[in-house]
């Protein structure tokens, strides 16, 4: 069902000769990330596809206990091989925003940023202001430059074949090349409640569910890893799609 009517999950295909893995929201769960990364790289090494991509769908930081090691792994992996791609999540940009301007009412402060700080050895408090500024300065000095370079270089989206990858979703009816970064990183209801097909199959995270959502027009791979203990991915090769899970 490609064409003007859009593309259906069943018909969506990766480019010929390319295998793609997409991984849902990680949120500081290095234990799950390292297991998923091992599984995927083991499959690639075993099957030796002609070409491949490994795409992380954003939200690497906050909430879970080990953001620092998550960013270690991902910054090294993306530097080592351009086929490993990291997409920007709202929490990742929220961390950069906080490092630029410390605010007690920020996304970072109110959605698990203290866990991120602890992973860098910083006991961050958001009140009173004096404590906030002291912890903020300590955190800035504790984060390796390669982590900041990684976060600043995150892409808003990527597209391969019939598959469009972003963190949150798209604004229905707007051409993919004209999507606003704010929507790609933040959108929820208008995208999630849209039943029609899109020009590409949208593969995303951002909105956690107990299990992956596989719908005619989109795939949601955010299974709330930081609290469920399950990190989900999907493999795309031709029209074949297969779920993978790391669970602890």
Distances (CA, A) of 235 to 23, 77, 138, 214: 9, 18, 40, 13
Instruction: Compute the distance between CA of residue 242 and CA of residue 126 in angstroms, rounded to an integer.
Output: 43
In degrees rounded to 5, what are phi and psi of residue 107? -55, -45
Mean pLDDT score across all residues of the chain: 97
Contact in structure between 57 and 71 (CB atoms under 8 Å)? no
Closest CA to 162 of 20, 54, 58, 56: 20
28 Rama class: left (phi>0) / alpha (psi -120 to 50) / beta:
left
CA-based nearest residue to 109, from 121, 125, 120: 125
Answer whether residue 4 shows pLDDT above 60: no
State the Cα angle at 197 between 194 and 202, rounded to 5°.
85
pLDDT at 64: 96
Q: Over pLDDT 90: what percentage of the chain? A: 98
Confidence check: pLDDT of 42 > 80? yes
- Residue 204: per-residue pLDDT: 99
Q: What is the pLDDT of residues 139-163, one digit of tens each?
A: 999 999 999 999 999 999 999 999 9
Q: Which of 247, 242, 183, 246 is nearest to 9 (CA)?
A: 242
Residue 36 contacts residue 73 (beta carbons within 8 Å):
no
* Domains located in the chain, CATH noted: 18-89+153-247 (3.60.21.10)
Instruction: Identify the residue whose tokens are 């795939």.
Output: 219
Strand ranges (E), 63-189: 84-86, 157-160, 163-166
- With a pLDDT cut of 70, the percent of the chain lying above it is 98
Which tokens sit at 99? 């490092």
Q: Are 95 and 139 in contact (CB under 8 A)?
A: no
CA angle 33, 39, 57 (to 5 degrees): 45
Selection from 235, 55, 42 nearest residue 156 by Cα: 55
Smallest CA-to-CA distance from 23 within 15, 34, 14 is with 34
> Average pLDDT for residues 75-103, to the nearest whole number?
98
Closest CA to 167 of 94, 76, 111, 110: 94
Q: Per-residue pLDDT tens for 215-231?
A: 999 999 999 999 999 99
């Amino acid at each position: 069902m490609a064409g003007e009517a859009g593309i259906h999950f069943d018909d969506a295909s990766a480019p010929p000769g390319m295998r793609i893995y997409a991984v849902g929201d990680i949120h500081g769960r290095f234990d799950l990330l390292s297991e998923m990364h091992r599984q995927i790289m083991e499959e690639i090494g075993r099957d030796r596809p002609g070409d491949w991509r490994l795409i992380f769908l954003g939200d690497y930081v906050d909430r879970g206990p080990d953001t620092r090691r998550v960013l270690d792994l991902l910054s090294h992996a993306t530097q080592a091989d351009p086929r490993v791609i990291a997409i920007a999540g709202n929490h990742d940009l929220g961390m950069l925003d906080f490092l630029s301007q410390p605010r007690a009412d920020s996304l970072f402060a109110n959605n698990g940023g203290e866990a991120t700080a602890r992973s860098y050895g910083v006991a961050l408090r958001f009140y009173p202001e004096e404590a906030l500024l002291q912890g903020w300065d300590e955190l800035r000095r504790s984060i390796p430059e390669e982590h900041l370079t990684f976060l600043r270089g995150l892409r808003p989206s990527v597209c391969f074949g019939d598959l469009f990858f972003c963190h949150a979703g798209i604004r229905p009816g707007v051409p993919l090349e004209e999507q606003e970064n704010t929507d790609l990183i933040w959108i929820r209801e208008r995208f999630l409640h849209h039943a029609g097909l899109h020009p590409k199959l949208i593969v995303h995270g951002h909105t956690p569910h107990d299990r992956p959502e596989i719908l005619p027009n989109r795939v949601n791979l955010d299974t709330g890893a930081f609290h469920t203990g399950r990190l989900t991915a999907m493999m795309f090769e031709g029209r074949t799609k297969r779920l993978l899970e790391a669970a602890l």
